[in-house]
Amino acid sequence: MNIGPRCRFCESPLRHTLVDLGMSPLCESYVSVGDLNRMEPFYPLRVYVCDSCYLAQLEEYVSPEAIFTEYAYFSSYADSWLRHAKSYTDMMAERFGVGPNSLVVELASNDGYLLQYFVEKGVPVLGIEPARNVARVAIERGIPTLVEFFGEKIAARLAADGNKADLIVGNNVLAQVPGLNDFVRGMKVLLKPRGIATLEFPHLVRLMDENQFDTIYHEHFSYFSFLAVEKIFAAHGLTIFDVDELPTHGGSLRIYARHTDDATKPVSSRVVELRSREEAAGLSQMPTYRAFSDKVQETKRKLLEFLIKVKREDKTVCGYGAPGKGNTLLNYCGIRTDFLDYTVDRNPYKQGKFTPGTHIPIFSPDKIGETRPDYLFILPWNFKDEIIEQMAYIRDWGGKFIVPIPEVRVYE
């Protein structure tokens, strides 16, 4: 008997929907020319909220191996993200004394975008990255990288070999782990008795408040409030002792965790304050989650109304970027080449391919100067300031920028 989906943390039945974005393909499954006429798999993009632990989550339709073994996202193509990584390494060296006698292990280390800055400081590092094509770039840079999925088994193997970590880093990986309990148990096993783990992930509160529904896709299995993530870590003997609220990816949290029995790092006032703020905002009450779906539907209507208007005025619109979030937005709103002539991306891996589901062609950014569109539709809106600065020359022919989230807005 099918008993329906269950929470990946506490295994309670999932009965409540946060938002239903219909059917969508995997957001990083870019389509080559030879595959344009072949069938693409689409899966339900429906987010549930557990009424026991308040973890927002998707069902796992596709295994992480199918998604992440070959991956199209390379962190080093975003300049502002590199600056963020460099600033983090400086801060950890200064605040916690991470140095040449430390071991830093990054989970989902991508192309070495962050560990390169620890290497510059003479700090021993190890990356763990499941995507072969991405890990290869890090290895070529001289960054030791294991091409594996992280979990308790790998952590035990590393620990047994004497490779326990002083610092575990996980940026934008926690949401991409369906086996949440195994992953957090693994951190517990790998961390030295006085070690620190920091993880960054998009904050569910910001997603809901600022209507960031396009950050929902199959590669992101979970969406975290502070209340939910604190409960998950506590269940595995880890205490969150500090937290930063960051502007990255539309609003993220960086949590600092330690072993629960490590009394050397007291819980900060920021943890107490954020916990209280989320409770006051109703994050532990189901009615708080029910209004989000209406907001998302209205945003879709407004965006389509705007695009219909500019196309009727015979204006040309092209996209900037081909990020995962953009593919959620394009598929949910039904935006294809009838609205968006093409999009561009700095990542050569995506150029010459087509967006999943909507089949919008992806070119190099040079294409924009050749076609001089009236509007540039910024799909990675979390980098809008960087992109508007990079592409300021479109103003020479009267070009304008469109940012779709939290609702459609034009920048001249």
Q: How many domains does the chain have?
A: 2
For residues 336 and 207, membership in a common domain is answered with: no
Segments forming the whole domain that contains residue 380: 304-411
Query: What pLDDT score does 67 carry?
Result: 64
Within a domain: 144: yes
Instruction: Identify the domain boundary among 226, 260, 289.
Output: 289
The answer to the question of residue 56 being in a domain is: no
Cβ atoms of 203 and 251 within 8 Å: the answer is: yes
Tell whether 232 and 109 lie within a shared domain. yes
Last residue of a domain, one of 289, 321, 345: 289
Give the domain CATH number at 205.
3.40.50.150
Task: Please give the pLDDT value at position 278.
Answer: 97
pLDDT at 1: 44
* Same domain? 280 vs 351: no
Q: In this structure, what CATH number is given to the domain that contains residue 401?
A: 3.40.50.720
Q: Is 295 inside a domain boundary?
A: no
- Asked, for residue 284, whether it belongs to a domain, the answer is yes
pLDDT tens string 244-291: 999 877 789 999 999 999 999 999 999 999 999 999 999 999 999 988
Percent of the chain's residues with pLDDT above 70: 96
Each of the 412 residues of the chain gets a pLDDT tens digit; together they read: 456 899 999 999 999 999 999 999 998 889 999 999 999 999 999 999 999 999 999 998 877 666 665 555 555 556 778 899 999 999 999 999 999 999 999 999 988 989 999 999 999 999 999 988 888 999 999 999 999 999 999 999 999 999 999 999 999 899 999 999 999 999 999 999 999 999 999 999 999 999 999 999 998 899 999 999 999 999 999 999 999 999 877 789 999 999 999 999 999 999 999 999 999 999 999 999 988 999 999 999 999 999 999 999 999 999 999 998 999 999 999 999 999 999 999 989 899 999 999 999 999 999 999 999 999 999 999 889 999 999 999 999 999 999 999 889 999 9
Instruction: Judge if 87 and 203 occupy the same domain.
Output: yes
Gap between the Cα atoms of 35 and 327, Å rounded: 18
Report yes or no: 102 and 166 within 8 Å, Cβ to Cβ.
yes
3-class secondary-structure state, position 357: coil
* Residues 103 and 229 both lie in one domain: yes
Residue 217 located in a structural domain: yes
333 and 194 inside one domain: no
Q: Is 394 domain-assigned?
A: yes
Same domain, yes or no, for 280 and 370? Answer: no
For 366-375, what is each residue's pLDDT tens digit?
999 999 999 9
Same domain membership, residue 208 and residue 130:
yes
Question: Is residue 204 domain-shared with residue 321, that is, in the same domain?
Answer: no
Q: Are residues 210 and 309 in the same domain?
A: no
**Which pLDDT value is given to residue 139?**
92
Question: Are 281 and 350 part of one and the same domain?
Answer: no
> What is the per-residue DSSP string for 90-134?
HHHHHHH---TT--EEEES-TTSTTHHHHHHTT--EEEE---HHH
The answer as to whether 340 is a domain residue is yes
pLDDT tens for each residue of 31-49: 999 999 999 999 999 999 9
Burial of 340-379, coded b for 16+ CB within 10 Å and e otherwise, reads bbbbbbbbebbbebbbbbbebbbbeeebbeeeebbbbbbb
Q: Are residues 354 and 239 in the same domain?
A: no
DSSP letters for 161-229: TT--EEEEEEES-GGG-S-HHHHHHHHHHHEEEEEEEEEEEEBHHHHHHTT-GGG--TT--EEB-HHHH
294 part of a folded domain? no
